[in-house]
Amino acid sequence: MSEKVCCCGCNKDQQFTELAPVLDKYAAVPGSLITILQKAQDIYGYLSIDAINYISEATGIKPAKIYGVATFYSQFRLKPVGKYLIMLCKGTACHVNGADIIEEAISEHLGIKDGETTKDGLFTLNNVACLGCCSLAPVMMVKSADDDETYGNLTKDSVVQVLDEIRARG
């Protein structure tokens, strides 16, 4: 891919170093937009306007269309997420086993609702469908740059304890 310099003078290829190889591989492959967006989100945690524009330049797909796809699918995030992304399972097994109570405890303890990030940028809460470990319901996964940790058989006390332990790590 040729080097791109933004109107402000920054080098977009440097800004999107990790995304460039993804685009080299998929930009010309028809029907690959979702794959590209998934990989971009995996790398940056969310899809920024700059990333959407960069993908548009590489694929020739208009930014409005990419934005439309990104907003249509709930798996995509258009805002930055906290250092720790709490993925709270609201699938059937977790729902039956009290996921709503766990969500309430998280919301009360952190002061955020589904899709929101704490003011200190530490936690984002996202409700998701089945995480694939229903026998441990209710379950949440906490994703960070270092690790993905799964916590099962949650109660409103244990979830608060887990959040406090994570917060103590900083």
| Residue 131 lies near ligand FES (rule: CB under 6 A) | yes
Q: Which residue has the tokens 């899709």?
A: 115
In Å, what is the CA distance from 155 to each residue of 97, 110, 115, 116? 10, 16, 21, 22
The residue among 68 and 132 lying less far from ligand FES, judged by its C-beta, is 132
- Between CA 90 and CA 138 the distance in angstroms is 8
User: Torsion angle of alpha carbons 110, 93, 71, 81, nearest 10°?
Assistant: 30
Could you tell me which stretch among 5-13, 18-26, 79-87, 130-138 binds ligand FES (CB under 6 A)? 130-138
Q: Which residue has the tokens 């469908």?
A: 129
Between 82 and 91, name the residue whose CB sits nearer to ligand FES. Answer: 91
The site string for ligand FES over 75-114 (x = CB under 6 A, - otherwise) reads --------------x-xxxx--------------------
Least gap, CB of 75 to ligand FES (angstroms): 16
State which residue, 93 or 122, has the beta carbon closest to ligand FES.
93
The tokens describing 81, both together, are 């997420």
Residues that bind ligand FES (CB under 6 A): 89, 91-94, 130-134, 137, 139
